[in-house]
Amino acid sequence: MNRAERLARLLRVLAAIIAEPGLNPLELAEKAGVSDRTLRRDLAHLRDLGYEVAYTSGYEVQEKLNLEGRGRQRTRGRGDDALLQAVAQAVETAGLWRDPDRVDATLPRRAKPRPSGKAPIVLIPSGDEDADFIYATGFGVENALYIRFSEKDDVLVASPLEIDRARAQSRAATVVEDRDTYVHQTWARLAARMLRERGISDARVSPNLRAVHLEDLRAGGIDAQVDRELYVAGRRHKSAAEAAAIQDAQSAAESAVVEVVRGLSEAEIRDGVLWSNGGPLTSEQLYARAQLLLGKKGYTCPDMIIAGSPECALPHYRGTGPIKANAPVIIDIFPTSRQTHLNGDLTRTVVVGEISDDVKRMHAAVLQALDAGIESIAAGVPGQEPHHAVCQVLVDRGYATTTKGFEGAEGVAKLNHNTGHGVGLEVHEEPALRDAVVDELREGDVVTVEPGLYLLGFGGVRVEDTGMVTQHGFQNFTTLTRSLNPQDYL
């Protein structure tokens, strides 16, 4: 770097200090457009030149500029500041400055080859239910930083608000508090500094990491790469304790479904609509009953589905307003434990009043497809096989699907979603039971099997069980009746 470039960079650092005194080093480096390493070198150089710039113990930059050097003391006027900033701007525009240490996130970069799985793991939660963060630390929190340098060398950085809970609940070997990082929300910058202090420039991050944190890591000189397989295998294989916790969640889901069905069965039919307590029975009222019961058991399910017809032809329609009689009601409840963060997933369809022959036929086909899907599950079976088994039954029964090769007839009720998915710290996780998945099911996977049939303007039918994949088949965690008749649940 020649003299003009070095001077231009020093002027840029001074201009950044003038513009906003009191920044911490990482913030100042970002404002000046230099790396933290370069900044420290430049501040030392400025001190040698007579500019009183120093770090305080709190890692703040104290702006005490003597622009004429130690030999001549005078008060600095605003004209000096303006001139300095103008000069810095001019030399930058002329292309006379550059920082070889700075990682420019705007330039295309080629990922450096490195041994798989060797780089440290950096996790910053996307929220207090970030599954990868919980899996790694045993701790659910909205704001924190976790770095795993090696197998027995990991650190969790928490805020003053969460430090005591972190020490009590997390599995990290080292738990420390950082108030400033919490106040300024500079978790990624802290991670970059901690890695650089160990001479580390690479890191792996979770697919859950927010883009702003990924950008900050890279701007801080860390070659952060998203590891799409991070914790996938570990989270898929459920321990005995995890399987038991999911089974407990499934039991809570069963209780909540029964509570909803009880509310439906207690209603009267008036002009084709269910009435209760002097007014129409609504999805919202049934939701409140189910949520109250789950809360008493230590679970929550804010997005549960209690959807009447004809809107339940939309598989993820959550339900709103009065419930119609003599038509399907889909109840899909997937509770999360407030203690273990593990989930269950259960769907049943019931009808209050007369059950039409069309609904009976749809329900019978769905139950047969459910059994076929379950029977095809075992360790070593490709994920698409249970889905194809389900589709074949539905097509054989005269219905349709959106899966290529299993399209079926036109204008009839159809299956328009996957057969199932993994369940664990997230309601939807690996593995998937759907078309084109050749990845084999593994012992310890917990999956749903949830065939459904839907016809716009009419309604839908879906039935779902959850259980674990074993060497010999499917261990069903679900015991609740699959009946269309509400009385069978009570």
pLDDT in tens, the chain (490 residues): 566 677 777 777 777 777 676 666 677 777 777 776 677 777 777 766 766 665 443 334 444 444 443 333 444 444 545 555 555 555 555 554 444 444 443 333 333 334 345 899 999 999 999 999 999 999 999 999 999 999 889 999 999 999 999 999 999 999 999 999 999 999 999 999 999 999 999 999 999 999 999 999 999 999 999 999 999 999 999 999 999 999 999 999 999 999 999 999 999 999 999 999 999 999 999 999 999 999 999 999 999 999 999 999 999 999 999 999 999 999 999 999 999 999 999 999 999 999 999 999 999 999 999 999 999 999 999 999 999 999 999 999 999 999 999 999 999 999 999 999 999 999 999 999 999 999 999 999 999 999 999 999 999 999 999 999 999 999 999 999 999 999 999 9
- Where exactly does CATH 1.10.10.10 map onto the chain? 3-93
Q: What is the pLDDT of residue 85?
A: 56
Q: What is the pLDDT of residue 4?
A: 65
| 202-205/223-226 β-pairing | parallel
Q: What is the pLDDT of residue 70?
A: 38
The domain defined by 3-93 carries CATH number 1.10.10.10: yes
Q: What is the identity of the amino acid at 102?
A: R
Q: How far is CA 127 from CA 243, 345, 456, 474, in A?
A: 24, 22, 36, 33
DSSP secondary structure string for all residues of 231-280: THHHHHS--HHHHHHHHHHHHHHHHHHHHHHHHHHTPEEETTEEEETTEE
Q: What is the pLDDT of residue 50?
A: 66
List beta partners, residue 52. 64
DSSP element (H, E) containing 55: strand 52-55
Q: What is the pLDDT of residue 234?
A: 96
From 365, 251, 357, 269, select the one nearest 308 (Cα to Cα). Answer: 269
Q: What is the pLDDT of residue 88?
A: 55
Sign of CA dihedral 21, 23, 26, 30: negative
Task: For residues 68 and 59, give the distance between their C-alpha atoms in angstroms, rounded to a whole number.
Answer: 26
Coil, helix or strand for 48?
Answer: helix
Question: Phi and psi at residue 362, in whole multiples of 5°?
Answer: -60, -45
Among all chains, which residue has been given the structure tokens 């939807």?
428
- Asked if 162 and 127 count as a contact pair (C-beta separation under 8 A), the reply is no
- Where exactly does CATH 3.40.350.10 map onto the chain? 121-230
Q: What is the pLDDT of residue 52?
A: 63
What's 428's DSSP letter?
A: S
- Where exactly does CATH 3.90.230.10 map onto the chain? 236-489
Sign of CA dihedral 362, 365, 371, 375: negative
From 476, 467, 477, 470, select the one nearest 380 (Cα to Cα). Answer: 470
Task: For residues 168 and 187, give the distance between their C-alpha atoms in angstroms, rounded to a whole number.
Answer: 21
Sign of CA dihedral 317, 323, 325, 329: positive
Would you put residue 69 in left (φ > 0), alpha (ψ -120 to 50) or beta?
left
The domain defined by 236-489 carries CATH number 3.90.230.10: yes
DSSP secondary structure string for all residues of 152-209: TEEEEEE-TTTHHHHHHH---SEEEE-HHHHHHT-HHHHHHHHHHHTT--EEEE-TTS
CATH code reported for the domain at 121-230: 3.40.350.10
- Asked if 441 and 462 count as a contact pair (C-beta separation under 8 A), the reply is no
